[in-house]
Amino acid sequence: SSSPHPPSSCSSPPPDSHFIGKQKDIVEAGRVTKLVNGCRDVLVLYHQGQLHAMDMCCYHSGGPLQYGDIEEFNGKLCIVCPWHKYKITLAEGEGLYQAVDNPMAKPLKTHWCSKGVKQRIHKVTEVNGDVYVTLNNSSEATESDVYQTERYRTLLLNG
């Protein structure tokens, strides 16, 4: 698996990628959700000139990340889940939280910590104005995997 990175100006999509939509449509919409390869609900979003892709349902309790705000915490761009405000980095899918330095100190001081990767991030490729996602098939379990089931998909559809 030490193959060199493909050139960034490649003219055909990666072999195992899935078409999501036209780049201009995704840029305009800002957010697009899609069932990729019949098995994975993926959120593709455009922010500050960059496309990102991740599992659509928040690792905490399955919240709809497509309705989350994007904010910077600790120098990292995060999506903030609309349900319980968990912060997930766009680049790595890390869960961030604020830890208290010293519970006895007043006023309380906090610093940002990472819980590690919690949300599965997928690879986005743009080729000739078309956007493709390559699913992250890492065999390492990620907490957001829990919500990628038929049962959950049905629940979402039924509101």
Does 61 sit near ligand FES (CB under 6 A)?
yes
Does 95 sit near ligand FES (CB under 6 A)?
no
Maximal C-alpha separation, the chain: 59
In terms of C-beta distances under 8 Å and separation of at least 24 residues, what long-range contacts does 28-36 make, across chains too? 31/66, 33/66, 34/133, 35/153, 36/122, 36/133, 36/135
Among 40, 52, 63, 119, binds ligand FES (CB under 6 A): 63
Among 36, 54, 79, 81, binds ligand FES (CB under 6 A): 81
Among 18, 40, 52, 60, binds ligand FES (CB under 6 A): 60
CB of residue 17 to ligand FES, shortest distance in Å: 27
What are the backbone angles phi and psi of residue 28, rounded to the nearest 5°?
-65, -45
Question: 24 vs 84, which CB is nearer to ligand FES?
Answer: 84
CB of residue 10 to ligand FES, shortest distance in Å: 35
CB of residue 156 to ligand FES, shortest distance in Å: 12
DSSP one-letter string for 94-138:
EEEEEEES-TTSSS--EEEEEEEE-S-EEEEEEETTEEEEE----
Among 84, 97, 100, 110, binds ligand FES (CB under 6 A): 84
Two structure tokens written together for 60: 């905490």
Two structure tokens written together for 126: 């743009």
Does 24 sit near ligand FES (CB under 6 A)?
no
CB of residue 80 to ligand FES, shortest distance in Å: 8
In angstroms, the Cα distances linking 148 to 30, 123, 151 are 23, 17, 8
Two structure tokens written together for 34: 């899609």
Q: Which residues contribute to the site for ligand FES (CB under 6 A)?
A: 58, 60-63, 81, 83-84, 86
